[in-house]
């Protein structure tokens, strides 16, 4: 009888649910449901359970052939425990225990941070996964995940891999969303990119329209040589390079993987990041390779499925 | 029959050799020999072997009752391999293979970086060792070591835990010994501390004598309220705090341990570092505890003995 696992990616607005073949980790089917917006975030797990039952029914699969459920959430997580997560309206709760209330006792459940799971999924999806990998995700915010010795690194209370809040510059005024100053995200998050471009546009001519600006429009303009756009993008790449050089002095990973929406800028961005990484890398650590993330929007489902699979003994 | 391991700390000027009881890790005896200063650093391993034989003879111990030899070296090391290490005149060599040439085939040998081993030894020597620990050593230079999941982290090519070369400030001119700029060591190493104090002494009155300055004299003056000394020490503590906050966003350890000669300043320094760590820590990571290192000059021998012991199956 075939065996399966679920890989589930919980976001603030939607939950992506994927059914995977256990042996091949091939995606059988996937679908998206709305994240319930309740005061009590625990209802999410009831929603997940009901959708698993419905999907099993549609796919003509017994619950007993599901070996595990892997889930990621947009929260700091340590061994399934979340101290506080405004994104999902939950606090002081072990999410693994919560999910297990609905599932048969022998079913393996993993719940971890979404960016950490994306790092796990991206690395495990490489032709030859590395033992030690760091994912940096560039989107509205800047996030990341750390894999060491093939395992996810959660940190003491779930804050490992918060790459966007590494202090990379001396900022005296502007406060980051996290409450601190000088964070990587303040330069390389969407707001930081747009604000810096707007400031340049006050005094420099450009093909960019300050009233109709997006990160994509800036990358597009940079690719055709617009000076303002180039200055912004070089600044983003420089600080990702600096942050990566800092990470290397802590754990020196085997690979840096660049993901998130902004990474759609592709090799153009990747090459600039590598240039600035090499300029800032200490000793001989400039040799560490950089790759673009490959799994796209499915990273969370795939990573979750792979993580739970890794905890299930093969028969 | 009693069993033993050797824990050996190789420095640029001397080699500390300790014989430990295998079961209790109690130090039986220890002694120091000069590091051979040869063009070919490999001769170090012959020196170590001869001293092991001599000490065994003196202690009336058979070579067959030595289960393992743990060694640390002042070089970046990855799985025993050293690409380049000016301190010991060696390059492109696997040091474990080199040591094993002299020893019986079944003897377990570990060789790792000295600061990493110190981190391992300091953490393992705590009443209750942590899974994830970071040691920051403050001395002539600033070093460190990272322990994750109870294991040493070497990094892709041996540069993990090079805490002194984390970029912590925007420096445009002064180049660090590593060839880069803005390194923690440039502020918190002996040279950085003395230079900054001398600069302050040009315009400020102080009990300090600019012609007879040492890091110890600055700490002593700070403890009795000298303004110049206090400004220097606060600056050191601030940047150790910032570096620690950065480390927390990468791996969020369970504990920071502060060691090295400068850490003899004791709780006075530790409390300042914690103050600045809390001010710079992101999210709720300000709670991570700081401790002073305890094993002193024996950290390398103890850590090396504990690491090799961890690889030997208990009977």
> Which pLDDT does position A74 carry in this prediction?
96
Mean pLDDT in residue range B174-194: 97
At the topology level, CATH places domain B128-293 in Nucleotidyltransferase; domain 5 (3.30.420)
Of A76, A169, A247, the CB nearest to B250: A247
How far apart are the CA of A241 and the nearest CA of chain B, in angstroms?
Answer: 11
Among B75, B247, B250, most A C-beta atoms within 10 A, so best to mutate, is B250
Distance between CA A23 and CA A315 in Å, rounded? Answer: 10
Whether the pLDDT of residue B315 is over 50: the answer is: no
On whether the B4-122+297-310 domain is CATH 3.30.420.40, my answer is: yes
Number of cross-chain residue pairs from A and B with Cβ atoms under 8 Å apart = 144
Distance between CA B297 and CA A308 in Å, rounded? Answer: 44
φ/ψ (deg, to 5) at A161: 80, 10
**pLDDT tens column, B105-133:** 999 999 999 999 999 999 999 999 999 99
For strand A81-85 and strand B4-10, is the pairing parallel, antiparallel, or unpaired?
unpaired
- B291-310 residues touching A, CB cutoff 8 A: none
Query: What mean pLDDT is reported for chain A?
Result: 96
> Which pLDDT does position B314 carry in this prediction?
63
A79 backbone φψ class: left, alpha, beta (φ>0; ψ -120 to 50): left
Whether the pLDDT of residue A227 is over 70: the answer is: yes
Query: What mean pLDDT is reported for chain B?
Result: 96
The residue ranges of every structural domain in chain A are 4-114+297-310, 126-293
Mean pLDDT in residue range A246-250: 98
Could you tell me if B116 and B110 are in contact, meaning their C-beta atoms sit under 8 angstroms apart?
A: no
Share of residues in chain B with pLDDT > 70 (%)? 99
For strand B4-10 and strand A290-292, is the pairing parallel, antiparallel, or unpaired?
unpaired
Helix ranges restricted to H, chain B: 43-59, 95-100, 114-124, 184-188, 190-203, 215-223, 227-250, 267-280, 299-310
> Which pLDDT does position B41 carry in this prediction?
85
Rg of chain A taking only CA atoms, in angstroms: 20
> Which pLDDT does position B313 carry in this prediction?
72
> Which pLDDT does position A40 carry in this prediction?
84
Candidates 3.40.50.970, 3.30.1050.10, 3.40.47.10, 3.30.420.40; correct CATH number of A4-114+297-310?
Answer: 3.30.420.40
Distance between CA B59 and CA A295 in Å, rounded? Answer: 61
Q: Do domains A4-114+297-310 and A126-293 have the same CATH topology?
A: yes
Whether the pLDDT of residue B80 is over 70: the answer is: yes
Whether the pLDDT of residue B151 is over 70: the answer is: yes
Whether the pLDDT of residue A315 is over 60: the answer is: no
At the topology level, CATH places domain A126-293 in Nucleotidyltransferase; domain 5 (3.30.420)
Could you tell me if A196 and A204 are in contact, meaning their C-beta atoms sit under 8 angstroms apart?
A: no
Residue of B nearest to A178 (CA): B283
**pLDDT tens column, A198-212:** 999 999 999 999 999
Whether the pLDDT of residue A4 is over 50: the answer is: yes
Whether the pLDDT of residue B311 is over 70: the answer is: yes
Mean pLDDT in residue range B57-71: 97
* Prediction ipTM score: 0.97
Distance between CA B164 and CA B175 in Å, rounded? Answer: 13
How far apart are the CA of B306 and the nearest CA of chain A, in angstroms?
Answer: 20
Q: Is B299 helix (H, G, I), strand (E, B) or coil?
A: helix
**pLDDT tens column, A33-66:** 999 988 888 999 999 999 999 999 999 999 999 9
Rg of chain B taking only CA atoms, in angstroms: 20
Number of other residues whose CB lies within 10 A of the CB of residue A23: 12
pLDDT interval class at B296 (50, 70, 90): confident
Among A156, A284, A288, most B C-beta atoms within 10 A, so best to mutate, is A156
Distance between CA A138 and CA A216 in Å, rounded? Answer: 12
Q: What share of chain B is helix, strand, coil (3-state, %, to 5)?
A: 40, 25, 35
Could you tell me if B133 and B247 are in contact, meaning their C-beta atoms sit under 8 angstroms apart?
A: no
Is B78 touching A (CB cutoff 8 A)? no
């Amino acid at each position: 009888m075939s065996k399966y696992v679920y890989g589930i990616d919980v976001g603030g607005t939607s939950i992506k649910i994927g059914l995977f073949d256990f042996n091949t980790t091939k995606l059988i089917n996937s679908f998206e449901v709305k994240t319930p917006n309740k005061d009590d975030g625990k209802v999410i797990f009831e929603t997940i359970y009901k959708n698993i039952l419905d999907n099993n029914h549609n796919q003509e699969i017994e619950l007993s052939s599901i070996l595990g459920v892997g889930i990621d959430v947009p929260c700091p997580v340590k061994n399934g425990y979340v101290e506080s997560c405004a994104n999902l309206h939950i606090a002081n709760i072990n999410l693994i225990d919560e999910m297990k209330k609905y599932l048969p006792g022998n079913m393996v459940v993993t719940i971890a941070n979404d960016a950490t799971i994306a790092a796990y999924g991206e690395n495990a999806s490489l032709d030859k996964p590395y033992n030690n990998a760091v994912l940096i995700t560039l989107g509205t915010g800047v996030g990341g995940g750390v894999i060491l010795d093939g395992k996810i690194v959660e940190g003491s209370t779930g804050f490992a891999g918060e790459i966007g809040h590494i202090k990379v510059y001396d900022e005296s005024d502007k406060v980051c969303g996290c409450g601190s100053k000088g964070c990587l995200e303040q330069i390389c998050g969407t707001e930081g990119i747009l604000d810096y471009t707007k400031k340049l546009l006050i005094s420099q001519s450009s093909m960019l329209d300050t009233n109709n600006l997006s990160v994509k429009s800036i990358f597009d303009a940079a690719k055709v040589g617009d000076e303002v756009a180039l200055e912004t993008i070089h600044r983003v790449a420089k600080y990702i390079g600096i942050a990566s050089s800092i990470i290397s002095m802590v754990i020196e990973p085997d690979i840096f993987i660049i993901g998130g929406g902004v990474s759609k800028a592709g090799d153009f961005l990747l090459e600039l990041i590598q240039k600035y990484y090499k300029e800032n890398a200490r000793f001989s650590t400039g040799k560490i390779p950089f790759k673009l993330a490959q799994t796209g929007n499915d990273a969370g489902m795939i990573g979750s499925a792979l993580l739970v699979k890794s905890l299930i003994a093969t028969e």
